[in-house]
Structure 1
């Protein structure tokens, strides 16, 4: 492996971590909107669906 490949691999990994943290932060912010109870089952389902969609999007981005 040459240095360019190693640098690209590290940058790709760091960017994936940053993107994942950003998506998770966005989901958490959506959950904190006014008028929503943290124990609300609909909210829990929404969060679960958003995380599943984000996971699928991340997998599709790898191709």
Structure 2
């Protein structure tokens, strides 16, 4: 699909970004009590790290495809 590039005042062909893997399945569940245990907290930290990695991978691929500024 073509689009108008206002900076160049010309039509350019859109570039497709490389595929990115889906984020890993969430491993956490609701805390059993009022306060989460260390194991429950550690699962949240792991899930957050996995999501951060997937997010950064997607941003890097969009930058490489020229869809985001470097």
**TM-score computed with the length of structure 1 as normaliser:** 0.47
Say which one has the larger Rg: 2
Write 1 or 2 for the structure with the bigger share of helix: 1
Write 1 or 2 for the structure with the bigger share of strand: 2
RCO comparison, higher one (Cα < 8 Å, 6+): 2
